């Protein structure tokens, strides 16, 4: 019931609004209504900045918000990329690259949640820069479809390649950080097993020594070479 009430917080309502925009953005792009799509994505970008500000000002930072906010951003962005790729306005290799990165990151995050007690990483500088580049790619592409401009066309090409580089770099960085953390967990596990074995040996050793002393004494008294 408490989680249900968090849906009505203004900050979470803005995140839900971005989710509501998703089918309309897709339909607008597919049917060539690029002006509508541009306005919707622009509004979504503004609400993305406002929801965090509202949550901090109103003291309504919730677990639901920490999940809903990035989820809404990622779904809206990926939907826009796919729609623009299908419409032939963005190269399909870029769409596949962006989606593949997110699938890899989500898979790694699920493995870390299910197999360890660690939480997924917070967004890195590369990740934040990649998000900005992706938003810029979508907005520039839609803007040029509404108002073609040669100068901005060159900028769009540059932003596309910037997005490509940041997508690859941020994906590799996340994977390397995850591998490093999992490797550290394995080393701690091995070290813990060695400590447990040493602790067991320490407990058992005095008893074995005492038993050996008793055995030696018995052999001295009743040994085979001693006369009855």
For residues 103 and 4, the model is more confident at 103
Whole-Å CA distances, 189 to 67, 72, 109, 114, 186:
30, 37, 21, 17, 5
Summary mean pLDDT of the chain: 78
pLDDT single digits (tens) 163-200:
999 999 988 888 888 778 777 665 655 555 555 565 65
* Confidence grade of residue 228 (pLDDT, cut at 50, 70, 90): very low
Q: Is the pLDDT of residue 217 over 80?
A: no
List CB contacts of 92: < 8 A, sequence separation 6 or more: 85
- Per-domain residue ranges of the chain: 1-89, 90-205
The whole-angstrom separation of Cα 77 and Cα 14 is: 16
Closest by Cα among 15, 19, 29 to 142: 29
3-state secondary structure of 65: helix
Q: What is the pLDDT of residue 226?
A: 42
Q: What is the pLDDT of residue 162?
A: 96
Q: Is the pLDDT of residue 134 over 90?
A: yes
Q: Is the pLDDT of residue 95 over 80?
A: yes
Query: Six-digit token pair at 144?
Result: 């040029």
pLDDT single digits (tens) 11-27:
778 888 889 999 999 99
Closest by Cα among 141, 149, 132 to 89: 141
What's this model's pTM, rounded to 2 decimal places?
A: 0.74
The whole-angstrom separation of Cα 114 and Cα 44 is: 32
The whole-angstrom separation of Cα 118 and Cα 121 is: 9
For residues 163 and 201, the model is more confident at 163
The whole-angstrom separation of Cα 224 and Cα 203 is: 33
pLDDT single digits (tens) 45-62:
888 777 777 767 777 677
Query: Six-digit token pair at 220?
Result: 């001295």
């Amino acid at each position: 019931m408490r989680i249900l009430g968090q849906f009505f917080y203004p900050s979470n309502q803005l995140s839900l609004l971005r989710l509501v925009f998703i089918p309309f953005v897709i339909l607008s792009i597919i049917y060539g209504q690029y002006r509508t799509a541009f306005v919707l994505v622009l509004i979504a970008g503004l609400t993305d900045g406002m929801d965090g500000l509202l949550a901090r000002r109103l003291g309504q930072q919730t677990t639901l918000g920490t999940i809903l906010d990035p989820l809404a951003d990622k779904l809206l962005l990926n939907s826009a990329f796919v729609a623009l790729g299908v419409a032939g306005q963005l190269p399909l290799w870029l769409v596949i690259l962006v989606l593949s990165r997110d699938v890899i990151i989500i898979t790694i995050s699920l493995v870390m949640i299910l197999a360890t007690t660690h939480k997924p990483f917070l967004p890195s500088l590369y990740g934040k820069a990649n998000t900005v580049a992706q938003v810029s790619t979508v907005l520039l592409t839609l803007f040029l479809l509404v108002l073609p401009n040669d100068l901005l066309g060159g900028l769009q090409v540059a932003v596309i390649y910037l997005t490509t580089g940041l997508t690859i770099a941020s994906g590799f960085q996340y994977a390397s950080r995850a591998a490093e953390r999992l490797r550290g967990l394995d080393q701690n596990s091995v070290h813990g097993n060695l400590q447990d074995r040493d602790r067991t040996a320490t407990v058992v050793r005095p008893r074995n020594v005492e038993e050996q002393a008793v055995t030696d004494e018995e052999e001295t008294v009743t040994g085979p070479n001693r006369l009855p």
